[in-house]
Structure 1
Amino acid sequence: MTKGGNTSLTALSEDSGSVVVSLGWTSASGAGDADVSVLLLDEGGKVRSDGDFYFYNNPAAADGSVQLLGKTPTDSGDEDRISLDLTAVPQEVVRIVVAASQYGDARFGDLDDLRMTVSDRSGEPLAGFSIDDAGAETAFIFGELYRRGPEWKFRAVGQGYETGLAGLATDFGITVDEGEDTPAPPALPVPAPAEAAVGAAVAAAPAPAAVRAAPPAADAPAAPAVPALPVQRTARSPRTTKKKTTLPKAAGKSLAENDTWRQACLFPAPTLKSDREREVRATSILLSVMAQVPELGRRLTAGFGAPAGRMQTFTEVSLPHGDAPRRPDGVIRVERAGRIWTALLETKTNGNPLKPEQVQEYMDIAARRGYEAVITLSNDVALDGVPIVDVKIDGRRKHKVGLWHLSWAEVAHQAQMLLLHEGVGNPAHAWLLQELLTYLRHEQSGCHGFHNMGPAWVPVRKGVEDETISAGDERAVGVVESWERLIRQVCLRLGGELGQKALPVQRARRGSDPHARRGAAAERLCREGRLFAELRIDGTNSVVAVTADLRTGRIRTSAEVAAPEGAYPLPTVKRLVRMLADAPADLHVESIVEGDNGPRGTLERLRPEPGGLLPANGAPITGFRLSLIKGMGSGRGSAETGFIRSVDAAVSRFHSGVLAHLAGFEGRSGRRG
C-alpha cells in the first residue's frame, strides 16, 4: 500500500476479528531500535483517558483488545508485534493508532526498511506499508485501524513527529506532567517493579511540530489538525493501578533444621523416570497453570492468534482420524464473544525430537475439524519464526491452520517476566508461577530448553582443531544453526533475569536469505574456526559480542563503550576503572583511538595505574573495548563441561560483572564546571 491508502480488512479475510500488527526495521549498526505504542481514540480524535495509551509500561488492555507482544528477531532485523482483538474494542473507540518512537538523539532516518504489516490470527499477511522518507523524526504514526459502519478498515499513515513520543501523545489528548527530562526506557540495572505502570511515560525532545502528514482517506474519520507544539522539556511520571504481586527480592528465612531438608513442591519431579512420564506430567502442569493464571495463558497464546477470553485446557483427548483415533498431548480452547479458538498441542521433553508425521496428522485433524492452530512444544528453539518440523499444507482447503513452535525456554522466560518484573493480580497466581519455574528448572523435568549442539558438533570441533575440515562441509551449517538457537536461548534467559528485552543482533539486509547467511557463517567457521554472534539489551547502548574460538577452546565476550564527549582523558579513564571496582580482575580493557590500536591491559594491572590507558602520542580516546576470556566446554550438551553451559555462563558473567557497573558512564562528562 502507499501512504494515505486504505483498505477493508473484512474484504481481505473472512476472519478479521483479531489481527496481529507488526512493525519492523533494520539497522546497519545493530544498535538502532524503537518502542511501539498504541492509542485508542474516540470520535473526537482523542483518548478517552490516559489508560487508552499502551506502551512498554502499559503493555496490555484488561479486556484483551490490545496486547504488545514484544520484539522478535527476523532474518533482516527486528519486528515488534501487537495483538488487536477488534471484537473486544469498546464501541466508543473508533480509531486505533499504531505508532513507534525513539529516544535520546536517535532518529528514524537512522533506521532502514521501516514497514508495517497487518496479519490475521493465523499469521497470513493481509496488508503492508513501507516508509521510505524518514528523516529527523523521533516518532512515527505507521498506520491506523478505524471503524466504517460494521467493519474495520486499515489506513497507511506514515506521519512523523520531530517532537518525539511527548509530542505525539500530547496531540491525542495525553496529559504530560511537568518534571525532569528522562529517557524513555530506564537504564540498566532495572529493579523488579512492585506495581504495573499504566500511565504514559513519554520522552522529551526539543524540536518543532509534526511533519510528513499523509493525506486522509476519503471515507476515514476526520483527524485532528496537528498544531505547532511548544518545545517539550518534560517527561510523564508513571501512574499505577492496583498493586500486582511479584516475587520478593529476598527470600524469607528458612525454618529447616539443616540443608538436607527440602520444601514440599506442588509439582514434584525427582520420581520421573521415563521420557513418556516427563512429557505427560510437563504438559499437564503447564496447561493447568495456563488455565489458572490468565496472564501466563494469554502471554503464551496471543502470538499464535488466540483471542483474550476464558481459557480451558485438556489432556489425553481422543480425536478420530482414519482407522484409529489420535491423542494429542493437549488441547487449548479460548472462548471470546461466543466463538471458540482451539489449538492442538504436541509436547516433547528431554531433547527428544518432534516427529513430522505425527505433527502432520494433527494438522490434518485440525483442518478437518475447523481448529485454528497446532502448537509444538519442545526443548528446541525456532529460528526466524519458522516451525521446527515441515508439514504439507493442502492449498485446496479453505480453512487455514497455523503451525507454531514454543520452546520450554520461552515458557520459563514468560513466567519469569511475570513473576519477577511485571507481576500478576493474585498472590496465589504468583505462587503457582513460582512452583512452575521450580519444576521447569529441576534436572529431572526434561524442560531445560535447548541443550544439545547436535550430532555434527563433535566432528566439526575436531575437524577445526586438527585443521582437517574443508570449506563446504554441510555439518558446519548444522553447527551454525545450533549456535543461533543457543544465542536465542541465552537472550531469553538474560532478558528474564533483567526484565528487559534481549535480542540477537541481525545485521543482514531485508530480504536476505537466512540459509545463505548461515552458509556464509559456516564457511567462516571452516576457515577461521570461530563462531560469532552479537546481542543487544534494551536500555543499553552497547552490543555484546560473543566469539567461540574452537581452535583455542576459548570464549570471548566483549563490548565497546563510548567515551563521554568533551571529557578530559585522565579523569575519564580513572572514572572507568573506578566504576569497574567490582569487575573481574582478568577483564581486558583497551582504549579505542581513531586510526590506531590504543593501549590495553588487564584491570588488575590498570587499577593502580589507570594512566596506562592513555595513548603516548596524546591522541583523543573515542571509547573503550572491554573483554572477558574464559575456557570453553567441549561436550555437545549442557553438562558442567558442556559447550552450551560455558557460553551461557560467559555471557552472564560479562553482563553482571562488567556491563551492570557501567550504567551512566557514556552520559556523563569528566569536565568540571
Structure 2
Amino acid sequence: MQEMVKGANVALADLSEDVGSVIVSLGWASPTGEGDADVSVLLLDANGKVRSDSDFYFYFYNHPVADDGSVQLLGKTPTADGSEDRISFDLTAVPGEVERIVVAASRYEGASFGELEDVRITLADAAGEGLLRFAVDDADSMTAVIFGELYRRGEGWKFRAVGQGYATGLAGLATDFGVDIEDDAATEAQAHAEAAADPEAGEEPEAVLDAVGDSVGAGGPGDVTTSVPVAEPAGQALMDAVPAPRRPDDHADKRQADEAWADLAKKPAARPRTAKKKVTLPATVKKTLAENDSWRAARLFPVSVLKSDRDREMRATSVLLSVMAQVPEFSRRLTAAFGAPAGRMETFTEVSLPHGDSPRRPDGVIRVERAGKLWTALVETKTNGNALKAEQVQAYMDIAARRGYEAVITLTNDVALEGSPLVDVKIDRRRKHKVALWHLSWAEVAHQAQMLIRHEGVGNAAHAWLLQELLHYLQHENSGCHGFQNMGPSWVPVRNGIDDETLCQGDGRALEVVENWERLIRQVCLRLGGELGQKVLPVQRAKRGTDPKERRDRLADQLCLDGRLQAELRIDGTPGVLTVGADLRTGKLRTAIDVPSPEQGYPLSWAKQLVRRLADAPADLHVETLVDGTGPGPRGTLERLRPEPADLLPKDGATKITGFRLSLFKGMGSGRGNAETGFIRSVDDAVHRFYTTVVVHLDTPVARRKPTKDRVAAAAE
C-alpha cells in the first residue's frame, strides 16, 4: 500500500488495473471511544463548484446515494481502534461534466479533529486490495477536513492527498463549493406548506396495505406506480410514546436544573422533508371481520415445507437472490461494498461450473451489467450452525480466477471479525486477475432490510412488500437464518474452569470465547440498530491497541484472571456509552450507562430531576453517584431513591459530582446456544430491555438536519 504525503498525487491506473470502481475509507480513533465524524462527498464541475445541491452527498441529509450509482455512502464499520466510514465510487458512471470528487468529513457540536487519533483516508480497488493511505496530521483545531480528491486526467482518474481544514465546519466547506445553506425561517415555512398541501398526511395505516395489495394485484411487482403514504417508523413510535419529564416548581434551583438537563439532551431537529416520497409498511394491521386467530396469512416465501439443512440452504439462497434482483435499493446496500457497480442485476441459483474431473455447483451467482461491462460473483451460503468448508471456498476462488469473475461471497450465520477470516484460502499472486473474498452474515442482511422498510423507506410499494416478506422469512424459526447463535465448544469448559479456578492464562479456549463474544456484540449492534433506525457500533478504545489479535489475547488473559467479559456500545443520540458486562463467576449480566451531570444548577436538583426522568424505569434499576477522585459515591435502587433523591448526595457536601451511573442486573443463560435459556438470548434481551426501559427516558435519538444560516452563525461563535 502506497503511503501518501500532503499534496502528493498518483494515477489510480498505476496502482491497479481494476479501478473502474473503488472503495474510499475514512477512519479515526478516539481515546475515549466516543469521538466520531460525518463523511460527505461533493461532485464538482470544471469551475470547482457543484452543479446543484444534489451533487452534495451526506448521510444525515437523507442523500447518501447517487441515482446513477456513481456514489454511495456505505455507513460506518467498526475497526480495531475506532470506526471507519466507507464510500463506494463507480468511476465509470460519474457524469462527464464532473471533473473532481471531493471527500471530506466534519465534526459537530463544537468538536474538532484534534480530539481524534490516527485520522486517515485509504483507497482500495474493486477486489478489495488496499492501494494507498494518507494520514491527516495537522487538523487539530479544525471542525471539517477535506481528506482527498479524485480528479480526471485524460481518460483516467488520479487521487490527490489534500488534508485541508475548515474552522467553520461542514457549512463553511459546503458553501465554498457552491452548496446553498438553507435559512431557518424558509425551511420551517416550506415544511408547514408541504404539510398543509399533503392530503395523505392523516391517512390510516390500512390505506397503505390496500395500496400495496391493489398495486400487486393489478400489474405485478414491476408495474407499481401507486403513491403510498409514509408510515411512522416503529422505533420513532416508541420514542414518541415516552412521556416528557415533569417540570419542577418555580424555584430558582429547580429551573436551573431543568434548563441544564434540557441543554444536555438537546439535539438538532429532524432532517427536512424531501421531495421524493418513500414507502414503508405499517408496524401493525387491524384484524377484519373475515379473520380468525387460527388462520395463517399466505406468504410469498413459505417455510413450513423445509425439512433438511440442504432444503434451507437452497430456499434461503433463492429467496435472497430473487429479492436482490427485484429491489435495487436493497441489492446496492449489500453489494456496493464489494465493488459491484450500479446496474442491471441478474441472479442465478444451482449453477454448474467445470472444475477438474467433476463440476462444482456454487449456491448462486450474481451478475451486474453496466455500460457493456460485467461484474460477477459466486455465492456460497450456509444456514443453521453449518460452517464453511475451506476446500469448497478455495475451489470457488480458483474457478472465479480462471473465468475472470470479480468476487466470491460467503453468507452464513457467523460474523467475520477483523483480522480473523472465517476460512483460510490461498490466493495466487502471480495471476493477473485478482478475486476478492467477501463475507456477509444473515444478521446483516436482515438489518439492511429492516432499515429500509421500517426507517428509511423505499420508493416502490411492491419493493417494500417484497422486503417485508424477506424479513419475515429470515426471522422465522424454521428458516435457519438466525444469525450468530452458538458460543462454541469452548464455552462450557471455560465457564467450568472459571468456577473451579483452573483456567490459566494462555488457554486457547479463552481466546475462542473472547472471539465469539465479539461476534455476539456485533450482532447485538445490528439488531438494536435495525429496531431503532440508529447507528449502533461497538466501541474499540485506541488505548487498548490497534492490532486485533493482540487485543483479543489481552482480553482472553483478563477473562482468565477475573472471569468477566465486557463490551461498550455507542448509540446515536444517547448521552453516553452503553456498557454490557457478563460475570461468569456470578452468572450475572450488567447493562449500564454513565450520564454526565449538568454544568449548571445544584446537586439536589440534579438528583430530583434524574429520578423524575426515570419515573417509568424499572424499580430495580441501580443508580450510583459518580464523584471526582474520592472513590465510589452513594448508590441505591430506584425504588428506594424515588421518595428520597437526596440519598444520592455525598454526605460531606463538598465532593464534586461528575455524573450518575445507571445499571440493570439480570441472570444470564447457562447454555452456549440461542435457546430461551441460552447465553446469547439473555444478552440480547438484557440490552433490549435496558435501552427500551432506561436509556429511552434519558434522550430521544433524532437525525441531524441540514445546517442553516442561524446554526452556522452559532457554531462560528
TM-score, normalized by the shorter chain, greater than 0.5: yes
> Equivalent residue for 1:148?
153
Matched, 1:40 2:76: no
> Equivalent residue for 1:304?
338
Offset of residue 241 of structure 1: 2.4
> Equivalent residue for 1:287?
321
> Equivalent residue for 2:201?
none
Give distance in 2, aligned partners of 1:257 and 1:67.
44
Residue number among 84, 87, 99 corresponding to 1:82 in the alignment: 87
CA contact under 8 A between 1:83 and 1:303: conserved in structure 2? Answer: yes
Residue number among 508, 524, 545 corresponding to 1:490 in the alignment: 524
Q: Secondary structure at the match of 1:266?
A: coil
Query: TM-score when scaled to structure 1?
Result: 0.89
> Equivalent residue for 1:606?
641
Give distance in 1, aligned partners of 2:347 and 2:455.
26
Matched, 1:555 2:600: no
Q: Deviations over 1:116-139 (max 9, x none)?
A: 011111111122100112211111
One-letter amino acid matched to 1:610: P
Offset of residue 254 of structure 1: 5.0
Q: Secondary structure at the match of 1:104?
A: coil
> Equivalent residue for 1:30?
33
One-letter amino acid matched to 2:556: A
- 1:38-437 aligned at under 5 Å gives the runs 38-56=41-59, 57-179=62-184, 191=236, 238-253=272-287, 255=289, 257-384=291-418, 386-437=420-471
One-letter amino acid matched to 1:498: L
Q: Deviations over 1:81-115 (max 9, x none)?
A: 00011111111111110000111131100000000
Give distance in 1, aligned partners of 2:656 and 2:678.
43
Give distance in 1, aligned partners of 2:557 and 2:186.
48
> Equivalent residue for 1:593?
627
Residue number among 7, 16, 20 corresponding to 1:17 in the alignment: 20
Offset of residue 18 of structure 1: 0.6
Change (3 A) 1:254 1:82: farther
Give distance in 2, aligned partners of 1:189 and 1:435.
17
Give distance in 2, aligned partners of 1:510 and 1:549.
21
Stretches of structure 1 that go unaligned for 5 or more consecutive residues are 183-187, 194-233, 666-673
CA contact under 8 A between 1:453 and 1:482: conserved in structure 2? Answer: yes
Residue number among 557, 560, 570 corresponding to 1:523 in the alignment: 557
Give distance in 2, aligned partners of 1:363 and 1:565.
58
Offset of residue 541 of structure 1: 3.6
Give distance in 2, aligned partners of 1:337 and 1:175.
33
Offset of residue 502 of structure 1: 0.8
Change (3 A) 1:444 1:190: closer
Give distance in 2, aligned partners of 1:602 and 1:270.
47
How many residues matched? Answer: 620
One-letter amino acid matched to 2:414: D
Stretches of structure 2 that go unaligned for 5 or more consecutive residues are 188-232, 239-267, 702-717
> Equivalent residue for 2:607?
573
Task: Quote the RMSD (CA, aligned, Å).
Answer: 2.0
CA contact under 8 A between 2:545 and 2:551: conserved in structure 1? Answer: no
Change (3 A) 1:74 1:237: closer
Give distance in 2, aligned partners of 1:176 and 1:249.
35
Give distance in 2, aligned partners of 1:138 and 1:278.
50
Give distance in 2, aligned partners of 1:655 and 1:162.
36
Q: Secondary structure at the match of 1:650?
A: helix
Q: Which moved more, 1:358-367 or 1:653-662?
A: 653-662
CA contact under 8 A between 1:189 and 1:663: conserved in structure 2? Answer: no
Greater relative contact order (CA < 8 Å, ≥ 6 in sequence) = 2
Give distance in 1, aligned partners of 2:432 and 2:271.
50
Offset of residue 246 of structure 1: 1.2
Give distance in 1, aligned partners of 2:542 and 2:556.
16
Query: TM-score when scaled to structure 2?
Result: 0.84
Give distance in 1, aligned partners of 2:527 and 2:290.
30
Change (3 A) 1:129 1:113: same
> Equivalent residue for 1:230?
none
Give distance in 2, aligned partners of 1:428 and 1:244.
12
CA contact under 8 A between 2:102 and 2:146: conserved in structure 1? Answer: yes
Offset of residue 471 of structure 1: 1.8
> Equivalent residue for 1:633?
669
One-letter amino acid matched to 1:33: D
Q: Deviations over 1:371-404 (max 9, x none)?
A: 0000000000011175311001111111100001
Offset of residue 463 of structure 1: 1.2
Give distance in 2, aligned partners of 1:37 and 1:405.
26
One-letter amino acid matched to 1:149: G
Offset of residue 43 of structure 1: 1.2
Offset of residue 614 of structure 1: 1.4
Give distance in 1, aligned partners of 2:149 and 2:130.
16
Give distance in 2, aligned partners of 1:145 and 1:235.
33
Give distance in 1, aligned partners of 2:592 and 2:576.
10
Give distance in 2, aligned partners of 1:120 and 1:256.
56
Q: Secondary structure at the match of 1:191?
A: helix
CA contact under 8 A between 1:73 and 1:504: conserved in structure 2? Answer: yes
Give distance in 2, aligned partners of 1:499 and 1:652.
14
Change (3 A) 1:640 1:190: closer
Q: Which moved more, 1:303-312 or 1:617-626?
A: 617-626
One-letter amino acid matched to 1:598: G
- 1:647-658 aligned at under 5 Å gives the runs 647-658=683-694
Q: Secondary structure at the match of 1:567?
A: coil
> Equivalent residue for 2:198?
none
One-letter amino acid matched to 2:308: S
> Equivalent residue for 2:10?
7
Q: Secondary structure at the match of 2:410?
A: strand
Change (3 A) 1:6 1:403: same
Offset of residue 159 of structure 1: 0.7
> Equivalent residue for 1:467?
501
Offset of residue 567 of structure 1: 2.1
CA contact under 8 A between 1:192 and 1:420: conserved in structure 2? Answer: no
CA contact under 8 A between 2:234 and 2:531: conserved in structure 1? Answer: no
Q: Secondary structure at the match of 2:160?
A: strand
Q: Secondary structure at the match of 1:382?
A: coil
Q: Secondary structure at the match of 1:626?
A: strand
Offset of residue 538 of structure 1: 2.2
- 1:534-549 aligned at under 5 Å gives the runs 534-549=568-583
Give distance in 2, aligned partners of 1:236 and 1:555.
35
Q: Deviations over 1:196-225 (max 9, x none)?
A: xxxxxxxxxxxxxxxxxxxxxxxxxxxxxx
Give distance in 2, aligned partners of 1:189 and 1:128.
41
Q: Which moved more, 1:357-366 or 1:101-110?
A: 101-110
CA contact under 8 A between 2:450 and 2:531: conserved in structure 1? Answer: yes
Give distance in 2, aligned partners of 1:179 and 1:68.
27
CA contact under 8 A between 2:234 and 2:283: conserved in structure 1? Answer: no
Offset of residue 439 of structure 1: 0.5
One-letter amino acid matched to 2:435: V
